[in-house]
Amino acid sequence: MQQVQTLIHCSTLIPVNDRADKSERALTNHSIAIQDGRILDILPTSEAKQKYSSDINPQFNHHIVLPGLINTHTHAAMALLRGLANDLPLMEWLEKHIWPAEQKWVNEDFVQLGTQLAIAEMLRGGVTCFNDMYFYAENSAQEVTKSGMRAHIGMILLDFPTHYAKDIDEYFSKGLALHDQYKAHPLVKCAFAPHAPYTVSNPPLERVAVLANELELPVHIHLHETQDEISQSLDQYNVRPIQRLHDIGLINSSLVAVHMTHLEENEIDLLAENKANIVHCPQSNLKLASGFCPVQKLKEKNINVTIGTDSCASNDDLDMFSEMHTAALLAKGIANNAAALPAYEALRCATINAAIALGIDQETGSLEIGKSADLCVIDIDTLEAQPIFDPIGHLVYATQRSQVTDVWVAGKQLLSNRELLTLDQEEILNKTKDLNQKILN
């Protein structure tokens, strides 16, 4: 008998493993042996009980165990602006509500509390990793580290000054200092995060292209969010935003392009040829009436598609189960094809595809021997979750994040029976309510 750190027994296990044929997608009565934060073995429970022993050996008899979900686009700290303004188009929403509120309220404390709130919400929703873009990224990174979660922290870049940085050089220097600080961190990584084509001019984008290539970092950017953005680019640069970024050398496998609505066929081909990664944010796109990301067409060209929630200001949650569900439904409606983005593909968008986009697919995104033990557990012993004919369809079409009971990241348990183990739930809630009152008054 080999003693291991943790031995998890699962009545149903969905590893999201590439090599699995269809019948192996959902395994019954399997166990996961975890050692040094990594998956040492995945095997039938009957064998596992002969081969391994552990002091920590939870038995999930009425549960589905799956890889932790990865939220590939959010602005975590904006959890404090959840639902600040509703039923408005992007530019009015940004210019009249979000930007003024940020100007007034966002500082280091705000980012600290907001990131805590977001991490708490995401962990309780089965999310083990997120790709962030926000001000005071140092504070976000600190909160991620304290929580034990995994994240890519954006080195945000904007042409205009904010409280966070006075000019583009300061954005760059703060971002690169952060990257330097975390480059050896096992869970926290940095990504370049030029905000959008309409807020970042060519010289800084050219600098990003050079540095991202040199440092082998992802480039996280809002791209083709609205038709207005495209029209404005045609006015100002005589090309559509994708072509402009291509001319700068940014359309490549490091690109993590968020939203991607109003795409033309030749743009889809360009994205496919250059192996760009697309983050689909269906709820945010719908709420702001930004347009539709043609997910089915992207999949047909083998483009890597992932899913993001966007921020709580436009969503109004960080719920990746709901986002997978919306993505799977909307893809069918838009493609006029009920087979578009089937459940297993939607689940891949929220797990392994996301890991590929962030360049961490050797580390996470699926449950496989050697990878980090990043996983979540869903309780299916409820009226709302029964009956179950197909566990994978069930995860995407019938599961709510309130069913998440337990979460591990890198072999460390962060959520146990819905209680957060590394964050003070009560304190975050109370501080959030206090700030809510201040902003309302």
* Cα–Cα distance, 247 to 232 (Å, whole number): 17
Residue from 138, 229, 317, 379 that binds its own copies (CB under 8 A)?
Answer: 317
Q: Are strands 52-53 and 38-44 parallel, antiparallel or unpaired?
A: unpaired
* Distant-in-sequence, close-in-space partners of 104: CB < 8 Å, separation ≥ 6: none
Q: Between 317 and 368, whose beta carbon lies closer to its own copies?
A: 317
What is d(CA 73, CA 278) in angstroms, rounded to the nearest whole number?
Answer: 10
Site stretch for its own copies (CB under 8 A), options 136-144, 189-197, 217-225, 328-336: 328-336
Number of residues that bind its own copies (CB under 8 A): 69
Q: Judge whether 375 and 32 are in contact, CB under 8 Å.
A: yes
Choose, by CB under 8 A, the member of 330, 352, 355, 373 that binds its own copies: 330
Contact assessment for residue 267 and residue 277, using Cβ atoms and an 8 Å cutoff: no
Alpha-carbon distance 323 to 280, whole Å? Answer: 9
Among the listed residues 215, 227, 207, the one whose alpha carbon sits nearest the alpha carbon of residue 178: 215
Using CB under 8 A, which of 316, 361, 368, 374 touches its own copies?
A: 316
Nearest residue (CB) to its own copies, 304 versus 314: 314
One residue of 61, 173, 362, 425 binding its own copies per CB under 8 A: 425
Instruction: Print the binding letters for residues 252-291 with its own copies: x by CB under 8 A, - otherwise.
Output: -------------------------------x-xxxxx-x
Residue 10 and residue 344 in contact, taking contact as beta carbons nearer than 8 Å? no
Scanning 43-51, 179-187, 214-222, 333-341 for contacts with its own copies by CB under 8 A, the matching segment is 333-341
Nearest by Cα to 280 from 230, 331, 340, 317: 331
User: What is the secondary structure of 103-131 as a DSSP string?
Assistant: HHH-SHHHHHHHHHHHHHHHHTTTEEEEE
Residues of this chain, 384-403, that bind its own copies according to CB under 8 A:
384, 386-390, 393-394, 397-398, 400-402
- CB-nearer residue toward its own copies: 128 or 277: 128
Q: How far is CA 154 from CA 41, 134, 257, in A?
A: 34, 7, 13
Contact string (CB under 8 A) for its own copies, positions 284-313, x = contact: -xxxxx-xx-------------------x-
Neighbours of 275 (CB within 10 A): 15
- String marking each residue 90-129 x if it binds its own copies according to CB under 8 A: x--x-----------------------x--xx--xx----
Q: What is the closest distance, in whole angstroms, from the C-beta atom of residue 209 to its own copies in the complex? A: 33
Sites of contact with its own copies (CB under 8 A): 80-90, 93, 117, 120-121, 124-125, 283, 285-289, 291-292, 312, 315-317, 319, 322, 326, 329-330, 332-333, 335-340, 342-343, 381-384, 386-390, 393-394, 397-398, 400-402, 425, 428-429, 432-433, 435-436, 439-440
